[in-house]
Amino acid sequence: MNVRFRMAGPDDAVAVAGLHADSWQRHYRGAYADAFLDGEPDGFLTGRWTERLANPSPGARTIVAEYGGELVGLSHVEIGADATWGALLDNLHVQSGLKRQGVGTQLLALTAQAVQDAAPASGLYLWVLEQNVGAQKFYSARGGENVERSTVPPPGGEPARLIGTPACYRFSWPDPSVLT
């Protein structure tokens, strides 16, 4: 597969948000409320990505994957997010039809490299929904350690966007060089 990877820019906001929203709709149902998933995620995420890509924080790195002229993957990390755990991989999504073909592994490797380039001693961590067993298997296969269980913060701080109090796990790579 001839997949191209590059840093995202402000012009990618709408496509990134579209891929992100589609992935939420497929994988976050049961944790995120149907009313939110069926109506709002495109607008909510377009706002978030427009701001993020137009005014990135100093530690932000967003990488996208393209295939056949289409955006098929995204990763977003915030370097220096946590004094203990290091850089936060806040988002990692691959287009549904292209899963299990190595795109996620390459996005994770490029993200780890970006963290190492900017902060060589930093760890890498993320939060994954308890129900998202496929992603947990992916992170375990890539050497991530499940170190903690917590509750999911509601998107945009709105509790009605969640169903009850879903749980999530922290996965950690104290040394992200294992990913590169």
Q: In the complex, which residues of this chain contact ligand COA (CB under 6 A)?
A: 23, 27, 92-94, 99-105, 126, 128, 132, 134-135, 137-138, 141
- CB 144: neighbour CB atoms within 10 A? 24
Give the shortest CB-158-to-ligand COA separation in angstroms: 20
Nearer to ligand COA, 104 or 155 (CB): 104
- Cα torsion 147, 152, 89, 75 to 10°: value is 140
Q: What whole-number distance in Å separates Cα of residue 107 and Cα of residue 30?
A: 27
Nearer to ligand COA, 23 or 116 (CB): 23
Give the shortest CB-179-to-ligand COA separation in angstroms: 11
Nearer to ligand COA, 29 or 99 (CB): 99
* H/E stretch holding 149: strand 145-151
Radius of gyration for the chain, computed over Cα atoms and rounded to the nearest angstrom:
15
Give the shortest CB-7-to-ligand COA separation in angstroms: 18
Give the shortest CB-169-to-ligand COA separation in angstroms: 9
Residue nearest to ligand COA (CB): 104
151-166 residues labelled b (16+ CB within 10 A) or e (exposed): ebebbeeeeebbeeeb
Nearer to ligand COA, 46 or 101 (CB): 101
